[in-house]
Structure 1
């Protein structure tokens, strides 16, 4: 193709918007479309449903658990640091646990403010975020990228709720500035050669920060990462004899992919890259993938339509083993390490309750794990997403 003609066609492709019908079919927003706020993991409509059902189960028990938590205490005191240093498994832990806990406490108080109307919790959420935005400059150490994702995911949800449901946060711009300069560049860069839960958690943080900052380019980059990483994290038989390579990853030969998938050589629907490592990290990866789709859905982009088969098979495959069904001899040498935790609430609500997909084992596991509490970047998801049609 001649250079001038190619340039002209590219220009037309960039400036001519898709028709509404095409945009709806492929699940895209028009270029420049405004973001919906609040719209990071939870929406105003979802929270309205929760607020109207606090006296009913399962929200009643989840609400009671949150209010009884130390994260929801008005005496909670943040412990900010300029530099957070996190080694493998957060060892050394120089501010790692403190930052994760403070980010979760900020989100917890933001939720409690909105659901109760008690502005003391709004002020506490703001106090925590202001304390961090006053000093934080970066993350270092082996786990720096993952730590940035853990904290960035919760901080973006807290900031989004406070900015768009409460008036009087004088430090909102300063906190947004820290999200842009300290957190976003790290999580947006991805992590193609680490275990997949890293990149999915980082993408969860990236899309949340992008929405909060009204940053369309960052949002699109996060979506692109998700579209590449989810198929490289959860296997489907349609992928062929081997799992897909994560975009940008150095693992591309058969032996390298098998090694990356922790020695697994037989691949079936729903198997995940970390299944033979342990179910705890696998659950994080699946949960983070669902979080990204949930935030995108609030912005008019239906990633669930693209990822529903991988997500439903992943949840069902791991749920049955977590529930105690026999481990086949071909899987992980005949032995797995269960420990999913309450990680499927958001994805189950989207696929089963909203999309009508039958998921009996996943449903049993989700219901027996309620109410979901907190862990790293997971917070109060029974309260926010159980049976939530919004």
Structure 2
């Protein structure tokens, strides 16, 4: 069964969000008008900083909870600080050209780049919570090493690799640039790296499996915030909205899922093949559910990250079909990840599990903020706390988003 819209948990719902929820139907109606989609996707008039993935309010809440020893945040913080990504002795490993083939084979700098980017974000978080300048300086060292060195990504996985690393770099940079009290002399060079090395590889999207384009657009949206580039935001958001609708199925879509026009999936047979051979479509099913839950988790996570960054920037995607697709995708996958029997009509009765630490952001937004009952997702989220990192582009989301209404 899909996640059902049970009665809102009004005791947990800030008053201004009641207004958002109450106008969701109006927003949906406006989106059907000519030109309304473009308006809904438009960049904010003024960008908010820090504003990629996590806001200053969320950072302040997290810091307060950790310093008070409150759970689950203190446990999540301890987990983060004990990880290799928080090490103050970490040595950056930049390359001029990062070459990544299919499944990172060959792997010439792929793991190093992704993990240095996660480490830059991790130490930026550690700086904010502890105010220990050594962590800020380590984050800067990592970002400076790569911005002084990298010139290109090559081979077949280059767009995805760029999307993964490019999702973490802006999160780190936003925290350091807008909260660190010291000097980051090379912040402009870092921005140039994002614009000249990362954006060209991702901004035009991908016709591969949907998690590729979703991760690439997550990176592009984050980069657009750091660069304060409204044109990049608008381009990335348009692709994101189209891909999200084509990645998660809702019964309101019709007999078959929506498609991305450039892929020319113009027959049911083509759509079924692209959806891993699945011909029965159920609300919450994703384009990669029958492939495996690992890649499905990548796609769902990217959707949640873009929605959260948009919320921080004053744009409510949670009140559109993006939020509904996110909620249903989480619930659908979560119940099987928790062990519910798989019907024969779904992927031939067999699923490859491994959703990963990807539920906190969407669960917090849709359940804690907007009041939807999400039993499946809640059970999985609580079981996985504190959630760590997938070593690609997801990191420490119990710490930053667990029950965080800021």
Q: TM-score w.r.t. structure 1 length?
A: 0.92
- Alpha-carbon deviation of 1:250? 2.9
Aligned partners of 1:28 and 1:300 also within 8 Å? no
What secondary structure sits across from 2:153 in the alignment? strand
**Range 79-88 or range 163-172, more displaced:** 163-172
- Alpha-carbon deviation of 1:252? 2.4
Alpha-carbon distance in structure 1 between the residues aligned to 2:318 and 2:272 = 28
Summarize the alignment of residues 1-390 of structure 1 with structure 2, pairs less than 5 Å apart. 28=40, 33-54=45-66, 55-166=69-180, 167-191=182-206, 193-306=207-320, 307-375=322-390, 376-390=392-406
RCO higher in 1 or 2 (8 Å CA, sep ≥ 6)?
2
Alpha-carbon distance in structure 2 between the residues aligned to 1:52 and 1:198 = 36
What secondary structure sits across from 2:385 in the alignment? coil
Alpha-carbon distance in structure 1 between the residues aligned to 2:353 and 2:84 = 27
Alpha-carbon distance in structure 2 between the residues aligned to 1:221 and 1:258 = 28
Equivalent pairs, count: 368
Structure 1 residue ranges without an equivalent (≥5):
1-20
C-alpha deviations, 1:341-388, integer Å up to 9, x for none?
111110110000000010011000011111111120001001000000
- Alpha-carbon deviation of 1:32? 6.9
Alpha-carbon distance in structure 1 between the residues aligned to 2:281 and 2:298 = 20
C-alpha deviations, 1:42-71, integer Å up to 9, x for none?
000000110110111110110000110111
Aligned partners of 2:44 and 2:313 also within 8 Å? no
**RMSD (Å), alpha carbons:** 1.6
Alpha-carbon distance in structure 1 between the residues aligned to 2:363 and 2:72 = 15
Alpha-carbon distance in structure 2 between the residues aligned to 1:300 and 1:225 = 19
What secondary structure sits across from 1:53 in the alignment? helix
What secondary structure sits across from 2:48 in the alignment? coil
C-alpha deviations, 1:292-341, integer Å up to 9, x for none?
01001111111111122211111111101000000001000110101101
Aligned partners of 2:41 and 2:234 also within 8 Å? no
Aligned partners of 2:53 and 2:308 also within 8 Å? yes
Aligned partners of 2:43 and 2:233 also within 8 Å? no
Structure 2 residue ranges without an equivalent (≥5):
1-22, 31-38
Moved over 2 A (4+): 24-32
What secondary structure sits across from 1:374 in the alignment? coil
Alpha-carbon distance in structure 1 between the residues aligned to 2:203 and 2:86 = 30
Alpha-carbon distance in structure 2 between the residues aligned to 1:316 and 1:32 = 30
- Cα distance, 1:318–1:30 mapped onto 2, change above 3 Å: closer
Alpha-carbon distance in structure 2 between the residues aligned to 1:118 and 1:252 = 56
